[in-house]
Structure 1
């Protein structure tokens, strides 16, 4: 469900002052339209540089995602913008990141962004799962798997991002950076490549082409066939459920992509 946005200027003065203690005086504010999970999302420019601030009211039901992002950030430096500070003030919970200059990843066939995303996926697969509290993939997919035995396919000790919406991948001259780690998860090491496959299909790849791109990632090469089949089924079930209450065009596209992948796997 999309979270309503408010302008940065509508934050209490005390909260903005707490932010400026880390950024310096804010000279320019650019509201961010993309994303679904933050009540505040803006790029701030100050004499010391550019920053990205996002956050929620402290009593928001998803406020726990702020802590998750803050905790995971030190472990994903190099493929994610650095966290400058977490500000908890005046009933708000805000994260301040170094701003990244780049564009949202283009997942369409033939896009020059695809190799950069592959490189980031390969890098992520090499990062040990940090000793922090994370949801487990088999728990997140439990409602959608065809049967209990399928859940064993999703278990593992790898750090996963899991939300490969193209707006969460910022492509720069130096590579692809991953933002929005709210749904960081612990699970089988090939699952992130699988989540990316689904987005590639949604952007126009046929399932075979999407899986060919995933094959550039070593963890995908070791994925069991029955595990991929089970994952395709679980995702189709999940997006069917989401699609019942959401007629947004990108949701409709994801529902169609998930069904197409499931049917291609002949399961």
Structure 2
């Protein structure tokens, strides 16, 4: 394993006490017992509340809630998660949605509690093996997709054009300061490569779309995959590919070692094209301004961009300028 250090996947969590009282009351009414203890959970980029609840009768539940501030896009993300979580089949290793509440610009999601923990950082070899196996089984369970969801070409539209956006910025006079020199030399070739991502991302698997260490929980019975707002349909290997740059930046082995032995039957050209688009997304996004309530997102994206780009050089370096 590598000893690579990484920025934390952590937002500035809203305390339970700052959530409107009507949400407290709605949660207690639904659960049929008052809340005795509310413990904020770390991890993840959302600026909303993420709280494990202990009820007066000893039962537990988990609730997440967000309002229109500080990030106005977050409420829509929670609404999407409510729709998707409610539709996931029981065999999917994800927390069951118990209820959702939506009023006055606030959205709250009430889930069954998961008695688990996030993976050890840096990645432990045994835990990483279990996580990869869980991602592979998840794709098998969700092929064909058990619910209606947008294809990758629709869900990721406007996101997978990072190299083309950087090329346009260069042509408009941006000196691309700080951009990896290899990427600068090969910017036009990278832009051309990523342009085929729509065909390369075709498939029939329902994908989580955002699997990272902070979206995995190790329990006594297996690995749970949490936070499902982005689900779309694409190739069975997409979630594994998208996860591995973060694994590398968080102390794991080079991505190609895991991917090639786990998804070796994937179309190699499609994989390279999607990886190019993913790397471009991370690199371009990491150069963007900080987002409200998400102070670690850009550093995390920059670090993912570095590892994704290093992997892309392994896969596509032979067709690029040195």
Query: Cα offset for 1:101?
Result: 1.6
Q: Is the Cα–Cα contact under 8 Å of residues 162 and 183 in structure 1 kept in the other structure?
A: yes
Correspondence for 1:61 among 73, 76, 82? 73
Query: Cα offset for 1:174?
Result: 1.4
Query: Cα offset for 1:262?
Result: 1.4
Residue number in structure 1 paired with 2:267 = 224
Q: Distance in 1 between matches of 2:83 and 2:146?
A: 9
Q: Is the Cα–Cα contact under 8 Å of residues 162 and 283 in structure 2 kept in the other structure?
A: no
Correspondence for 1:234 among 272, 277, 282? 277
Residue number in structure 1 paired with 2:88 = 75
Q: Point out which structure has higher relative CO (alpha carbons under 8 A, 6+ apart).
A: 2
- 1:18 correspondence with 2:26: yes
Task: Flag structure 1 segments of 5+ consecutive residues without an equivalent.
Answer: none
Q: Is the Cα–Cα contact under 8 Å of residues 107 and 113 in structure 1 kept in the other structure?
A: no
Query: Cα offset for 1:156?
Result: 1.8
- 1:52 correspondence with 2:52: no
Residue number in structure 1 paired with 2:180 = none
Q: Distance in 2 between matches of 1:157 and 1:58?
A: 35
Alpha-carbon displacement from aligned partner over 1:196-250 (angstroms, at most 9, x marks no partner): 222222123443xx33333564xx2331111121122112211111221358453
Q: Distance in 2 between matches of 1:191 and 1:211?
A: 14
Residue number in structure 2 paired with 1:251 = 301
In the TM superposition, 1:207-218 aligns within 5 A as 207=254, 210-215=255-260, 217=262
**Under a length normalisation based on structure 2, what TM-score does the superposition of the two structures give?**
0.72
Correspondence for 1:174 among 221, 224, 228? 221
Query: Cα offset for 1:162?
Result: 1.8
Number of residue pairs matched by the alignment: 263
Correspondence for 1:125 among 128, 135, 139? 139
Query: Cα offset for 1:111?
Result: 2.3
Change (3 A) 1:243 1:142: closer
Alpha-carbon displacement from aligned partner over 1:44-71 (angstroms, at most 9, x marks no partner): 1102511111122269323232232222
Query: Cα offset for 1:131?
Result: 3.0
Alpha-carbon displacement from aligned partner over 1:86-121 (angstroms, at most 9, x marks no partner): 122444211011111222124756522123212321
**Structure 1 runs of 4+ off > 4 angstroms?**
1-4, 107-110, 246-249
- 1:95 correspondence with 2:98: no
Change (3 A) 1:234 1:91: closer
Q: Is the Cα–Cα contact under 8 Å of residues 170 and 177 in structure 1 kept in the other structure?
A: yes
Q: Is the Cα–Cα contact under 8 Å of residues 31 and 41 in structure 1 kept in the other structure?
A: yes
Larger Rg belongs to = 2
Q: Distance in 1 between matches of 2:311 and 2:219?
A: 30
Deviates more, 1:20-29 or 1:34-43: 34-43
